[in-house]
Structure 1
Amino acid sequence: MRKEMIGLPIVGMVMAEVAQVGLMIMGKAAMSHGMPNFVFVFYSNALASLILLPASFLFHRSHRPPLTFSILCWFFLLGLLGCFAQISGYAGIYYSSPTLATAMLNLIPGLTFILAVAFRMETLNLRSSTSQAKSLGTIVSIAGAFIVTFYKGPSLLMAPSHSSSPHLLLGQQSNWVIGGFLLAADCVFASAWLIVQASVLKKFPAELFVVFYYCFFVTLQSGIICLIMGGDLSAWSFKPDVRLVAIIYSAVFGSAFQLGVSTWCMHRTGPVFVSTFKPLGIVVSVVIGVIFLGDTLFLGR
């Protein structure tokens, strides 16, 4: 029974991380076609909210926790952290690449562990082998994130020669350090988001409703940012091109599926367990980036 309880979250998190890598790639594609990151965040979360609303009532039709003003405030905070994380994360991907973004996700397990210890969700006992392993992993993950940001290094694996023409996802000149700092900010917000979400699930144990309210508040908050930033109205167009495909993918697989599965896993295992699967995205993104997208693998990665 215990193996089954652990086995399902493991399978779920593997699927969620694969979906997240696809989300990063599709987000890069949408921004390369002229859609600002905050507009992409608004559209994807708005569509995800429409999908999650009926699904939430269907999945939790027998048990719906009472919705109080205090819980709404928690949802607002969850949405605010997620909104900042998504906007900074997509901006970082725009300036760098999805491969660097997945590499920087190594920060999340370490930062989440530090926050979990600070908020007494995890116990730190340096005499325990488990705590020693988590502490060492935190140091290594943070050091590795700084290495991939400041040291690109020589190329190790390059795309085939027939892929030398500029690819849609690689058309923008990368600014490695700026992208790395934006992605680091994304990891800080994402780690805090995991801690807050774990607290929310204890107060409101209905996973899909939590994800729905999260996407709903991100939609409102990113919509306000869109109004403040203004910009070209053509960036809002819904042409049947890669931007529309990216928004649909983000809503279905990035929010409804990926967030729903990871929230279900967190409710059963905790935030540290969920965050430890972030490095898995590196393998997936390297394979996709080098083989299919004409990306190059550098020593610093």
Structure 2
Amino acid sequence: MDGRARDSLPFVGMITVVLVQTSNMVVTKMAMSNGNNKYILVFYSNALSSLVLLPCPFIISRRSGSCPPLTFSVLRKMFLIALIGFACQMCEYVGMEQSSPVLGMAMMNLIPAFTFILAIILRMEKVNWKSSSSQAKLVGTIASILGAFVVTLYKGPPILLPPSPPLVQPRHLLFLLSRQSNWILGGFLLVAEAFLISLWYIGQAFILKDYPVVLNLMFYSTFFSTILSGLLSFIIVREPQLWILKVNVGLVAILYSAMVAGVFRATLCVWCLKKTGPVYVSMFKPLGVIFAVGLGFIFLGEMLYLGSLIGATVIVIGFYGVVWGKSKEEEDKTIEGSSRVGEGLASSGDTIPLLQSKASSV
């Protein structure tokens, strides 16, 4: 595999991560709208993800002799990451229930801003406001966020009707959308989710420096999340019949959330974070609005509006601005590093002219 193909892997990986995350939101929305309990969905999803990842620590420890030791300090950091991740899940589900899934998709686009601010505060990201790459990242981020809010807040006239009724008829969807009394509380919870996801990115980046084993990290954090979600579910959900799994959209949501969104997406996201850093990973979040519009149109029977088309166009423009700024920044670093090596060789040549003359005479 050549260098360009290798460098494009995080780009393709993050596109896949956002697509899987958005599709998981649509599937979970179907399940909750058909009466499935949100706490039980979270618990079963985390438990199944932990079961799938269970062999990873044993396989990796046997095959890799360079695996770093799992100290109490690392485990403590993993538990904190799991606590943040579980808090993200609860804020998302409860916030969407108290307000609207539409508001949840809008607040998701606050993640790049929160991550960028946290990375600057923790000195993980250096910003030169005079450079074109930093300006492109800033303008692209603002454009992506503005485009996402256009998609959410401005509908406009419908331009394309769904080809068929939704695959699943949500019984409680109108109730969720019309519930206005706790809209402010739901909005605050969704803002808190965006901040916690940004904090989760930063925390993962710090742990990967001390323990760069992605699959082991995913297992332990998912295992701790299972314990936390299990304790909360057993306390809140007292009806035994709600724990019985049925062959319906709820079971599909659990399997998809655990296998695809939990194991595959989270592991791929951590791998991309290890390769590129938290700011680059968070920049792909605005693309989720575009995917949500398309998936909602196909699976939920939602109409495509003019505002969605305009907002999606603005998001794509801003997205490519961010990607260009990041690639420009990496290119400048490469050129700067090459020039320093050239200067070092030139200075070395100036200090040993006798060696050069002897080498030329041989």
TM range (shorter): 0.7 to 0.9
Q: Is 1:203 aligned to 2:210, yes or no?
A: yes
Q: Structure 2: how far apart are the matches of 1:165 and 1:6?
A: 39
Deviations 1:205-255 (A, max 9, x none): 000111111111111111222233234333222112211111111110011
Is the 8 Å Cα contact of residues 167 and 294 (structure 1) preserved in structure 2? no
C-alpha distance in 1 between matches for 2:166 and 2:262? 34
Equivalent residue for 1:86, pick from 89, 100, 104: 89
Select between 270-279 and 54-63 the one with higher mean Cα deviation. 54-63
SS of structure 2 residue aligned to 1:25: helix
Structure whose CA Rg is larger? 2
Residues 166 and 37 (structure 1), Cα distance of their counterparts in 2 relative to 1, 3 Å cut: closer
Unaligned stretches of 5+ in structure 2?
312-362
Moved more, 261-270 or 228-237: 228-237
Give the alignment partner of residue 187 of structure 1, picking from 160, 176, 194.
Answer: 194
- Tell me how large the CA RMSD over aligned residues is: 2.7
**CA positional deviation for 1:37:** 2.0
Show the counterpart of 1:33: 34
Report deviation, 1:273. 1.2
> Partner amino acid for 2:126?
T
Distance across 1 between alignment mates of 2:69 and 2:18: 31
The worse-fitting range, judged by mean Cα deviation, of 19-28 and 135-144 is 135-144
Distance 2:256 2:143 in 1: 33
State the alpha-carbon separation in 2 of the partners of residues 173 and 270 from structure 1: 37
Q: Give the match for residue 267 of structure 2.
A: 260
**Residue of structure 2 in register with 1:10 after alignment:** 11
TM-score using structure 2 length: 0.74
Q: Say yes or no: does 1:76 pair with 2:79.
A: yes
Q: Residue 127 of structure 1: SS of its match in structure 2?
A: coil
Q: 1:2 to 1:120 in 2, by over 3 A?
A: farther
Name stretches of at least 5 consecutive residues in structure 1 with no aligned partner. Answer: none
Matched to 2:277, the amino acid is G
- Asked if 2 retains the 8 angstrom alpha-carbon contact of 1:24 and 1:90, the reply is no
Question: What is the distance in 2 between the residues matched to 1:64 and 1:273?
Answer: 27
Mean CA deviation greater in 87-96 or 138-147: 138-147
Worse overlay, 26-35 or 196-205:
26-35
TM-score of the superposed pair, with normalisation by structure 1: 0.88
Q: Which residue does the alignment assign to 2:176?
A: 173
SS class of match (1:168): coil
Equivalent-residue separation in structure 2 for 1:122 and 1:49 (angstroms) = 33
User: Is 1:58 the counterpart of 2:62 in the alignment?
Assistant: no
Task: Report matched runs for 1:1-301 at 5 Å.
Answer: 1-58=2-59, 61-62=63-64, 63-94=66-97, 95-97=99-101, 100-140=103-143, 151=153, 153-157=155-159, 159-160=161-162, 163=165, 167-168=169-170, 170-174=173-177, 175=179, 177-178=183-184, 179-297=186-304, 299=307
Q: Is the 8 A contact 2:56 2:219 kept in 1?
A: no
Partner deviation per Cα, 1:132-153 (whole Å, 9 max, x = no partner)? 233334545555666667x455
Deviates more, 1:272-281 or 1:196-205: 272-281
| Aligned CA distance change for structure 1 residues 282 and 56 (closer, same or farther; 3 Å) | farther
Tell me if the contact between 1:112 and 1:275 (Cα under 8 Å) persists in the aligned partners. Answer: yes
Q: State the one-letter code of the partner of 2:50.
A: S
Say if 2:45 and 2:254, in contact at 8 Å, map to a contact too.
yes
Q: Is the 8 A contact 2:26 2:295 kept in 1?
A: no
Moved more, 235-244 or 85-94: 85-94
Residues 266/231 of structure 1: CA separation in 2 closer, same or farther (3 Å cut): same
Distance (Å, rounded) in 1 between the aligned partners of 2:139 and 2:236: 42
Distance in 1, Cα, partners of 2:57 & 2:17: 19
Q: Aligned in 2, Cα 1:157/1:193: closer, same or farther, shift over 3 Å? A: farther
User: Is the Cα contact below 8 Å between 2:56 and 2:215 reproduced in 1?
Assistant: yes
- For residue 352 of structure 2, what is the aligned residue in structure 1? none
- Tell me, in whole angstroms, the C-alpha distance in 1 between the residues paired with 2:12 and 2:148: 26
Specify whether residues 264 and 138 from structure 1 end up closer, same or farther in structure 2 by C-alpha distance, changes over 3 A only: same
Q: What is the aligned length? A: 299
Q: Which AA in structure 1 matches 2:88?
A: A
Range with greater deviation from structure 2 (53-62 or 181-190)? 53-62
Instruction: Supply the distance in 1 between the matched residues of 2:167 and 2:261 (Cα, whole angstroms).
Output: 29
